[in-house]
């Protein structure tokens, strides 16, 4: 047990975590070279395509140094801000971390964010520069930056190429020698931290755990302390990286427990598993740091054909088994039919779930514009949480509105300082801190509404800095804001499905943009069609789609003009009757074009 080493690899997106993990698997002969695919631990096609880790992938490796065998438990963690909570739980489960920095890109915002998380957990951190096989970089400058942020000597930083394997074996030896062995307290009551989970149709939910105290074996009655759920262990084992069944797990080990539970929603990341007999023992307390992941981005999802609704519902249920961090509830739309309102941890999480529904389940979906939750205080003092425009109460009933704010940190070369400072006020951002780091880097901190972040801030920032800036954000709190609900009227009838929320200062501009867009994509009718946007019942923007033209005099040849005049007047009277009596059904294609091109 004294030769167990639990560690993670932390880095910014695309700095080579998964490729380095491949080399570890190869060097330790955990996976034969013939079976080792690129990014082996990234099982999802989206992970390989985007070059990012979305789900955690633990793996146990055995490695012999000077005749002594070590058990190395690696957890390959996600690198994006949307999955910070998962990363924090993974860090809680280990004693060491490799801080990996792409030598061609240097220290990035997510590098610092993950480093701070690791330092808060008191982990042994090993600095490492990757991609040294490439030539277009300033090695000494990046090494100096990493030395400064870790407060270690430059000679203690490892230089590797995860692609070619250069320097990787020396790094692995350092992990075995430098990372502390876990405390072995088998005699204490069981306490196991859940850092991830997966659903198995035969064994129920598989809880991925780090055993801190005690031991667990098949047949034990277990208790989830935060969810207050009881069950019996069907099987347990280790990751190799496939699931290997063992006789049990003891303190210090990383492994999995087949809980037999059929509801994936009750097995939450961060919960503590103990034995049922300790469920009433006040001295056995849950491991610290548990919190309920809160969806902060919401969007309506509708199948293009109503015939696909049942398939869509079943697909969501299956996806929920694999990713319990998103939520969904049914909703109906007069124009789009039946669908679901989905909640996500962030905008990347929203994109990943959307792509998985399309690719893995073959669904063609119409998605509404992502929206953050608003806290509304009514004149009566009652508080409401609203995540869709149709639920907004009338302005006369609202005392104040609050929206979620984030602390955003932008890391960029100093030459782009003016570009960033000029850009950020467009997103209602307030600068709170500016720090000059070693080398040519600046770290700028802003506070801004989350709603601004989920639109096109990332693309705008990359454009303003020629792709050299990176950013990381943390949710802060809800703050009073000045936003308006704008109603869309088509042929004088309110279309609730097109209502939207905007900052009051941008209401007029957004109203004009939307009416202009709708004029281009709504098909013409037999009568002229008014498209209007209203605020508090006052029309602030209008466009008119002319009636379709039909030449009712085309069959006439010569003769008196009065015959044509009679036909034209008759046509005008008909169009007036249609305008008075007619209704407009907006086809789903309009929503698809509108929401798909929201940023245009």
The answer to the question of residue 185 being in a domain is no
Mean pLDDT (whole number) for 120-131: 92
- The pLDDT-based confidence of 280 (bands split at 50, 70, 90) is confident
- The per-residue pLDDT for 249 is 95
Q: Are residues 112 and 203 in the same domain?
A: no
- The per-residue pLDDT for 551 is 63
- The per-residue pLDDT for 559 is 62
Cis bond before residue 406 (omega within 30° of 0): no
The residue out of 219, 251, 278 marking a domain boundary is 278
List strand residue ranges (DSSP E) for 345-482, in order: 365-367, 374-378, 383-386, 398-413, 430-436, 441-449, 470-481
Q: Are residues 29 and 151 in the same domain?
A: yes
Checking if the pLDDT of 288 tops 60, the result is yes
Q: Are residues 161 and 301 in the same domain?
A: no
- The pLDDT-based confidence of 48 (bands split at 50, 70, 90) is very low
Report the share of the chain in percent with pLDDT over 90: 36
Q: Are residues 66 and 197 in the same domain?
A: no
Checking if the pLDDT of 547 tops 60, the result is yes
- The per-residue pLDDT for 376 is 94
Q: Are residues 13 and 154 in the same domain?
A: yes
d(CA 231, CA 465): 53
Residue of 165, 164, 103 lying closest to 139 (CA atoms): 103
H/E stretch holding 101: strand 96-102
Sign of the four-CA dihedral 259, 91, 93, 88:
negative
Task: Read off the DSSP letter of residue 149.
Answer: H
Q: Are residues 401 and 508 in the same domain?
A: no
The answer to the question of residue 186 being in a domain is no
Q: Are residues 305 and 431 in the same domain?
A: no
Q: Are residues 89 and 39 in the same domain?
A: yes
Structure tokens at 597: 């091109």
d(CA 338, CA 317): 16
- The per-residue pLDDT for 598 is 47
Range of the domain at 26: 4-178
Mean pLDDT (whole number) for 570-592: 64
- The per-residue pLDDT for 189 is 94
Mean pLDDT (whole number) for 100-113: 84
Q: Are residues 382 and 499 in the same domain?
A: no
Mean pLDDT (whole number) for 422-439: 89
In DSSP terms, which residues pair with 462 in a beta bridge? none
Report the share of the chain in percent with pLDDT over 70: 86
The residue out of 137, 157, 178 marking a domain boundary is 178
- The per-residue pLDDT for 306 is 82
d(CA 365, CA 340): 11
- The per-residue pLDDT for 236 is 95
Q: Give 14 or 97, the one with higher predicted confidence.
A: 97
CATH number assigned to the domain comprising residue 153:
3.40.50.300
- The pLDDT-based confidence of 128 (bands split at 50, 70, 90) is very high
Q: How many CB atoms lie within 10 A of CB 423?
A: 19
The answer to the question of residue 172 being in a domain is yes
- The per-residue pLDDT for 248 is 94
End-to-end CA separation in angstroms for the chain: 58
The answer to the question of residue 286 being in a domain is no
The answer to the question of residue 466 being in a domain is yes
In DSSP terms, which residues pair with 410 in a beta bridge? 444, 471
* Residue tagged 């990341």 (tokens): 269
- The per-residue pLDDT for 13 is 75
Structure tokens at 318: 């299956």
- The pLDDT-based confidence of 375 (bands split at 50, 70, 90) is very high
Contact (CB, 8 A) for 295 and 345: yes
Residue of 505, 504, 451, 441 lying closest to 473 (CA atoms): 451
Checking if the pLDDT of 305 tops 90, the result is no
Q: Give 491 or 38, the one with higher predicted confidence.
A: 491
Mean pLDDT (whole number) for 488-513: 87
- The pLDDT-based confidence of 597 (bands split at 50, 70, 90) is very low
- The per-residue pLDDT for 439 is 66
Mean pLDDT (whole number) for 288-300: 84
CATH number assigned to the domain comprising residue 434:
3.30.70.240
Task: Read off the DSSP letter of residue 292.
Answer: -
- The per-residue pLDDT for 599 is 41
- The pLDDT-based confidence of 61 (bands split at 50, 70, 90) is very high
Mean pLDDT (whole number) for 246-271: 90
- The per-residue pLDDT for 36 is 57
Q: Please write the tens of the pLDDT for every residue from 217-234.
A: 999 999 999 999 999 999
Q: Give 68 or 56, the one with higher predicted confidence.
A: 68
- The pLDDT-based confidence of 136 (bands split at 50, 70, 90) is low
- The per-residue pLDDT for 39 is 47
Q: Are residues 405 and 534 in the same domain?
A: no
CATH number assigned to the domain comprising residue 563:
3.30.70.2570
Mean pLDDT (whole number) for 562-588: 65
- The per-residue pLDDT for 579 is 56
- The per-residue pLDDT for 273 is 95
Q: Are residues 17 and 152 in the same domain?
A: yes
Checking if the pLDDT of 393 tops 70, the result is yes
SS3 content of the chain, % helix, strand, coil (to 5): 30, 35, 35
**Which range (70-84, 287-301, 507-521) has the least confidence?**
70-84
- The per-residue pLDDT for 259 is 93
CATH number assigned to the domain comprising residue 336:
3.30.70.870
The answer to the question of residue 292 being in a domain is no
Which range has highest mean pLDDT (143-147, 436-440, 563-567)? 143-147
The answer to the question of residue 313 being in a domain is yes
**Which range (443-452, 468-477, 509-518, 583-592) has the least confidence?**
583-592
Which range has highest mean pLDDT (411-425, 430-444, 513-527, 580-594)? 411-425
Q: Are residues 50 and 123 in the same domain?
A: yes
For 198, phi then psi, to 5°, come to -150, 145
The residue out of 443, 463, 481 marking a domain boundary is 481
- The per-residue pLDDT for 555 is 62
The answer to the question of residue 283 being in a domain is no
Checking if the pLDDT of 111 tops 70, the result is yes
Q: Give 323 or 20, the one with higher predicted confidence.
A: 20
Over the range 32-61, which residues count as b (16 or more CB within 10 Å of their CB) and which as e?
eeeeeeebbbbebeebeebebbbbbbbbbb
- The pLDDT-based confidence of 112 (bands split at 50, 70, 90) is confident
d(CA 270, CA 191): 12
H/E stretch holding 342: strand 337-344
Checking if the pLDDT of 351 tops 90, the result is no
- The per-residue pLDDT for 193 is 93
Mean pLDDT (whole number) for 109-128: 87
Global model pTM greater than 0.85: no
d(CA 295, CA 288): 21
Number of structural domains the chain divides into: 5
């Amino acid at each position: 047990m004294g030769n167990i080493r639990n560690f993670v690899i932390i880095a910014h997106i695309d700095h080579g975590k998964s490729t380095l993990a491949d080399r570890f698997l190869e060097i330790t002969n955990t996976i034969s070279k013939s079976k080792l695919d690129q990014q082996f631990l990234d099982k999802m096609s989206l992970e390989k395509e985007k070059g990012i880790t979305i789900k955690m992938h633990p793996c146990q490796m055995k490695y012999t140094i000077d005749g002594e065998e070590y058990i190395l438990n690696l957890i390959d963690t996600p690198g994006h801000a949307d999955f910070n909570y998962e990363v924090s739980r993974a860090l809680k489960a280990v004693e060491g971390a490799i801080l990996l920095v792409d030598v061609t890109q240097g220290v990035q915002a997510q590098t610092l964010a993950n480093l701070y998380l690791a330092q808060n957990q008191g982990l042994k951190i090993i600095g490492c520069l990757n991609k040294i096989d490439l030539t277009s970089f300033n090695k000494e400058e990046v090494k100096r930056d990493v030395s400064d942020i870790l407060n270690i000597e430059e000679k203690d930083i490892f230089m590797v190429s995860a692609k070619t394997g250069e320097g990787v074996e020396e790094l692995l030896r350092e992990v075995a020698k430098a990372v502390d062995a876990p405390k072995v307290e088998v005699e204490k009551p069981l306490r196991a931290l859940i850092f991830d989970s997966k659903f198995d149709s035969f064994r129920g939910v598989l809880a991925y755990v780090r055993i801190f105290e005690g031991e667990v074996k098949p047949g034990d009655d277990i208790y989830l302390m935060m969810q207050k759920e009881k069950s019996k262990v069907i099987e347990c084992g280790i990751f190799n990286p496939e699931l290997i069944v063992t006789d049990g797990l003891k303190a210090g080990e990383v492994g999995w427990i087949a809980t037999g539970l059929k509801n994936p929603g009750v097995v939450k990341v961060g919960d503590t598993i103990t034995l049922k007999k300790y469920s009433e023992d006040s001295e056995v307390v849950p491991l610290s740091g548990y919190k309920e992941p809160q969806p902060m981005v919401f969007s309506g999802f509708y199948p293009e054909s109503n015939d696909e609704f049942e398939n869509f519902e079943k697909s969501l249920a299956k996806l929920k088994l694999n990713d319990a961090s998103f939520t969904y509830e049914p909703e109906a739309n007069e124009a789009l039919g039946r669908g679901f309102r989905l909640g996500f941890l962030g905008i990347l999480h929203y994109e990943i779930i959307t792509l998985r529904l399309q690719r893995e389940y073959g669904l063609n979906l119409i998605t509404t514009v992502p929206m953050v939750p608003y806290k509304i205080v009514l004149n009566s003092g009652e508080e409401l949480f609203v995540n869709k425009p149709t639920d907004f109460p009338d302005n006369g009933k609202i005392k104040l509105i609050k929206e979620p704010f984030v602390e955003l940190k932008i890391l960029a070369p100093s030459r782009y300082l003016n570009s960033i400072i000029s850009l950020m006020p467009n997103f209602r951002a307030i600068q709170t801190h500016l720090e000059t780091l070693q080398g040519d880097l600046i770290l700028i901190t802003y506070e801004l509404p989350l709603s601004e972040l989920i639109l096109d801030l990332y693309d705008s920032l990359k454009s303003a800095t020629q792709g050299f800036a990176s950013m990381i954000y943390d949710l802060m709190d809800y703050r009073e804001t000045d936003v308006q609900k704008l109603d869309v009227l088509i042929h004088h009838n309110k279309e609730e499905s097109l209502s939207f929320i905007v900052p009051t200062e941008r209401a007029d501009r957004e109203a004009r943009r939307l009416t202009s867009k709708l004029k281009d994509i709504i098909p013409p009718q037999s009568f002229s069609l008014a498209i209007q946007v209203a605020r508090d019942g006052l029309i602030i923007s209008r466009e008119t789609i002319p009636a379709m033209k039909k030449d009712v005099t085309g069959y006439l040849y010569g003769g008196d003009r009065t015959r044509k005049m009679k036909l034209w007047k008759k046509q005008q009277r008909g169009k007036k009757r249609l305008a008075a009596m007619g209704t407009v059904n907006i086809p789903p294609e309009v929503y698809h074009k509108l929401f798909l091109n929201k940023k245009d």
